[in-house]
Amino acid sequence: MGLLTGETLGPLAVAVAVFLLLVDLLHRRQRWAPRYPPGPMPLPGLGNLLQVDSLDRRCSFTQLRHRFGDVFSLQLAWTPVVVLNGLVAIREALVYRSEDTSDRPPVPMFQHLGCGPQAEGVIFARYGRAWREQRRFCVSTLRNFGMGKKSLEQWVTEEASCLCAAFADQAGRPFSPNALLNKAVSNVIASLTFGRRFEYNDPRYLKILDVMEEVEKEHSGFLTQVLNAIPVLLHIPGVVAKVFPGHRAFMALLDELVAEHRMTRDPAQPPRDLTDAFLDEVEKAKGNPESSFSDENLRLVVSDLFTAGMVTTSTTLAWALLLMILHPDVQRRVQQEIDEVIGQARRPEMGDQAHMPFTMAVVHEVQRFGDIIPLGAPHMTSRDTEVQGFLIPKGTTLITNLSSVLKDETVWKNPFCFYPEHFLDAQGHFVKQEAFMPFSAGRRSCLGEPLARMELFLFFTCLLQRFSFSVPAGQPRPSDHGVFGPIVNPSPYQLCATPR
Ligand code: HEM
Ligand SMILES: *[C@@H]1O[C@H](CO)[C@@H](O)[C@H](O)[C@H]1NC(C)=O
């Protein structure tokens, strides 16, 4: 202790500071690569964390884009991040450079929640064999669904009837549609994964839905962000159980459903659903340590399908109904098309889409305007790559600003208005638009897109075939501004559903 006199303390402090700065610089060496995208000057240790005010991200990011252009860099503590904006840059990165940009940044929390190297689910799986196997499996199961008895389209159509019945039960009184939309949409995932649906008032179903809501809150919570930023904290005994009780409860509920499934499964019959098909693959993979088909991974894949497939679709439907009560003229034109093409006697089918350009345009415009996942899902470069002439080294997190594509002012006539004509030509035919990217693009794009499109079209047309929707008498016109978050919901609203 005697050594730490005033004279030695000074130089020692300087040495420690220099050492820490060097460690810090080492973790940010990416930035010194030639042609690295420009960005604000990072502080030692924190990087730009203070500059991107997490409460007001939209604003601070808009300023950064103005200053640095469509491709700019940030340093979030020790994580190098490149933000991509606009159709041209995002298409180049996700489509033309897909091979280099399809990894995901590691999420430390998942390593403590039952994920292992061969069991990573799909959404957050690293770019490699386990991801490729599971992605291929999900895509082909979705495509082949219905080899058995009932096609996915039949499941969705029948669920749409149940949803209509529940709307009719409201007897024209004002209500908020979100809870019922959630129930209908999760039942579609339940039919895909477990070959069954639940009654809307089944206590077990209500518990599952409650737990899923809790999981969503846990995953986007502040504490989770802190734990992911400072992963050593996850090693403190008891922390994981304390912070993620919902996640555990959800996994336990899924395990129960899988266990019930095993008992009723008949291996001689074709698979009834995704779980059966998965169990067949587990059987085939016995003795292959490299395979990602395992009991641990089954629950993660199923849980991924529920989390990715539910809130996204039901939020989009909540936007659709909100926009219909705000734009009654558009609602009337959709109903007119339904009456002409389908009538009242039969249920809508996917085949009707080809004859319903206006309805198709409205559904697309709902997704464009609703813009529910503004920043997409994070990607990471798996090797050095180039976007818009900038060099992006391996291991850089990429944020794809899908919102900047869906509302790109150089592409859309009225980017900030609800305007179905964006998807119609002068003759009233439906036209596809390259900048329609709510499902992202490239190898990591949404694998549930065909199912999501089916649900959006069938639920939407079934509802408008049976009901007219309106702002409840005496209530103010709801706002069409979203509530910003990882998923953008419409501001809470009520509507009246009047039978037609
Ligand atoms: C309107 C509804 C939906 C929207 C807007 C949507 C959008 C997205 C987006 C933006 C991504 C991230 C893509 C990327 O990383 O670049 C994604 C990924 C994913 N989505 Fe969807 N999605 C929807 C419905 C669904 C449904 C119904 C399912 C399930 C059947 C699903 C399953 C997935 C999965 C598994 C991934 C991860 C893919 C991967 O990492 O390889 N989604 N979705
Ligand atoms: C994404 O794009 C929108 C629209 O151009 C913009 O307002 C927002 O600030 C952008 N966000 C980021 C993270 O760049």
432: exposed, middle or buried (C-beta count within 10 Å: 0-12, 13-18, 19+)? exposed
Residue nearest to atom 6 of ligand 2 (CA): 62
Residue 162 CB coordination number (10 Å): 16
Lining residues, ligand 2, CB within 6 Å: 58, 61-62, 65, 83, 85, 375, 401, 403-404, 407
Ligand 1 pocket, residue 381 CB under 6 Å? no
* Ligand 1 atom closest to the CA of 445, numbered from 1: 13
* DSSP label of 74: E
Question: Which residues in 356-418 belong to E strands, given as ranges?
Answer: 379-380, 385-387, 390-392, 397-400
Confidence label for 7 from pLDDT (cuts 50, 70 and 90): confident
Residue nearest to atom 12 of ligand 2 (CA): 61
* Ligand 2 atom closest to the CA of 375, numbered from 1: 13
pLDDT in tens, 472-488: 999 999 999 999 877 89
Ligand 1 pocket, residue 406 CB under 6 Å? no
- Please report the pLDDT score of residue 4 as a whole number: 62
Going by C-alpha positions, the residue among 193, 207, 362 that lies closest to residue 277 is: 193
The ligand whose atoms approach the alpha carbon of 89 most closely is 2
* Ligand 2 atom closest to the CA of 409, numbered from 1: 5
Average pLDDT over every residue of 6-35: 80
Confidence label for 327 from pLDDT (cuts 50, 70 and 90): very high
Confidence label for 53 from pLDDT (cuts 50, 70 and 90): low
Going by C-alpha positions, the residue among 112, 58, 56 that lies closest to residue 232 is: 112
Q: How far is the CA of 83 from the centre of ligand 2 (A)?
A: 9
Ligand 1 pocket, residue 185 CB under 6 Å? no
Residue nearest to atom 13 of ligand 2 (CA): 61
CA 103 remoteness from chain centre: 16
Ligand 1 pocket, residue 373 CB under 6 Å? yes
Lowest mean pLDDT among 241-245, 332-336, 368-372, 409-413: 241-245
Q: CA torsion sign, 459 to 460 to 466 to 468?
A: positive
Q: How far is the CA of 86 from the centre of ligand 2 (A)?
A: 9
pLDDT in tens, 389-407: 999 999 999 999 999 999 9
Whether residue 499 is predicted with pLDDT greater than 60 in this model: the reply is yes
Question: Looking at per-residue confidence, does 33 or 497 come out higher?
Answer: 497
- Please report the pLDDT score of residue 116 as a whole number: 67
Q: 57, 88, 403: which to mutate for ligand 2, most atoms within 8 A of CB?
A: 403
pLDDT in tens, 90-142: 999 999 999 999 999 988 777 767 666 678 899 999 999 999 999 999 999 99
Q: How far is the CA of 440 from the centre of ligand 1 (A)?
A: 8
* DSSP label of 96: I
Percent of the chain with pLDDT over 70: 94
pLDDT in tens, 465-474: 999 999 999 9
Residue carrying the six token digits 């992605």: 135
Exposure on the CB side of residue 98, measured as CA atoms within 13 A: 9
Ligand 1 pocket, residue 438 CB under 6 Å? yes
Whether residue 1 is predicted with pLDDT greater than 60 in this model: the reply is no
Confidence label for 55 from pLDDT (cuts 50, 70 and 90): very low
- Please report the pLDDT score of residue 25 as a whole number: 75
pLDDT in tens, 155-206: 999 999 999 999 999 999 999 999 999 999 999 999 999 999 999 999 999 9
- Please report the pLDDT score of residue 235 as a whole number: 79
Whether residue 147 is predicted with pLDDT greater than 70 in this model: the reply is no
Q: 138, 382, 446: which to mutate for ligand 1, most atoms within 8 A of CB?
A: 446
Q: How far is the CA of 64 from the centre of ligand 1 (A)?
A: 28
Average pLDDT over every residue of 280-303: 92
* Longest distance between any two alpha carbons in the chain, whole Å: 95
- Please report the pLDDT score of residue 20 as a whole number: 82
Residue nearest to atom 7 of ligand 1 (CA): 439
- Please report the pLDDT score of residue 86 as a whole number: 95
Whether residue 441 is predicted with pLDDT greater than 60 in this model: the reply is yes
Ligand 1 pocket, residue 135 CB under 6 Å? yes
Mean pLDDT score of the chain, rounded to an integer? 90
Whether residue 61 is predicted with pLDDT greater than 90 in this model: the reply is no
* Ligand 2 atom closest to the CA of 62, numbered from 1: 9
Whether residue 228 is predicted with pLDDT greater than 80 in this model: the reply is no
- Please report the pLDDT score of residue 202 as a whole number: 96
Q: 126, 439, 488: which to mutate for ligand 1, most atoms within 8 A of CB?
A: 439
pLDDT in tens, 309-322: 999 999 999 999 99
- Please report the pLDDT score of residue 326 as a whole number: 98
The ligand whose atoms approach the alpha carbon of 57 most closely is 2
Residue nearest to atom 19 of ligand 1 (CA): 446
- Please report the pLDDT score of residue 231 as a whole number: 75
